[in-house]
């Protein structure tokens, strides 16, 4: 009875298109048309590899923007499910700790949550791997999305993050919601490696073509 009333007042909606659905968190049409990508990517950044279930375009891009700016934090568990499946296929056995790229304290207060923390903690739970906060954002810099030039993006995140836990010898899976040029992820990985991490590999819900 309570579940029926809840569904009447707050009907389930598809994470990807936002349309009302009968049950679950995504509609069959969207599931069939999502911009899926496959294959672990090697990189010359401070992280050694990167994986993501989707390309950052179409319905996936729209969904992530709704999550961030319309406070749809429930979406994070869906992203985590897809990320977990991708990690099992592409990065299994390559890490022993899951962490995340944090937003600033100011941004977290404004939004009411840190989306990367929610995604990473749920991913760790699904994978049954320890989860820890390893970084803190110490400077509230301008949004990366406001900058088009890659050099400007790298300068914008320089020295924004500080390692706040003992990561010596750790192999860390570092999760963010999206990876565009990789500048933010690389700066975080650099900080973790300087603190003694053995390896950092990256994962996100979506990755942009420009990466």
The DSSP H or E segment spanning 196 is none
Q: Are 202 and 179 in contact (CB under 8 A)?
A: yes
Residues 6+ apart with CB under 8 A from 9: none
In the structure, what pLDDT confidence band is assigned to residue 11 with cuts at 50, 70 and 90? confident
Distances (CA, A) of 52 to 42, 88, 207: 12, 11, 6
Q: What class does CATH assign to 35-207? A: alpha beta
Structure tokens at 63: 């969904």
**Which parts of 61-127 are beta strand (E)?**
97-100
pLDDT in tens, 40-80: 777 778 999 999 999 999 999 999 999 998 989 999 999 99
Q: Quick one: DSSP state of residue 13?
A: B
Residue matched to tokens 């999206």: 178
Would the pTM count as exceeding 0.85? yes
Domain map (residue ranges) of the chain: 35-207
Distances (CA, A) of 205 to 16, 36, 84, 96, 191: 13, 10, 10, 20, 22
pLDDT in tens, 111-125: 899 999 999 999 999
CA gap 28, 133 in Å, rounded: 35
Nearest 5 degrees, angle CA 17-CA 19-CA 21?
Answer: 120
In the structure, what pLDDT confidence band is assigned to residue 145 with cuts at 50, 70 and 90? low
Partners of 175 in beta bridges = 100, 203
Q: Are 80 and 126 in contact (CB under 8 A)?
A: yes
In the structure, what pLDDT confidence band is assigned to residue 209 with cuts at 50, 70 and 90? confident
């Amino acid at each position: 009875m309570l579940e029926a009333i809840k569904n009447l007042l707050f009907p389930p909606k598809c994470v990807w298109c936002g349309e009302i659905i009968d049950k679950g968190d995504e509609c069959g049409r969207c599931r069939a048309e999502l911009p899926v990508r496959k294959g672990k990517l090697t990189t010359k950044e401070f992280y050694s590899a990167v994986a993501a279930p989707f390309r950052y375009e179409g319905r996936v891009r729209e969904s992530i923007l709704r999550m961030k700016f319309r406070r749809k934090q429930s979406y994070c568990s869906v992203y985590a499910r897809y990320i977990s499946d991708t990690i099992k296929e592409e990065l299994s056995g390559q890490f022993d700790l899951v962490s995340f790229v944090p937003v600033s304290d100011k941004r977290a207060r404004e939004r009411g949550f840190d989306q990367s923390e929610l995604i990473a903690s749920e991913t760790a739970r699904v994978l049954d791997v320890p989860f820890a906060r390893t970084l803190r954002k110490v400077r509230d810099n301008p949004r990366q999305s406001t900058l088009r030039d890659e050099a400007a993006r790298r300068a914008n995140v320089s020295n924004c993050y500080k390692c706040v836990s003992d990561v010596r010898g750790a192999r860390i899976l570092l999760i963010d919601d999206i990876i565009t040029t990789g500048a933010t992820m690389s700066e975080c990985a650099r900080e973790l490696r300087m603190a003694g991490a053995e390896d950092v590999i990256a994962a996100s819900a979506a990755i942009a073509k420009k990466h």
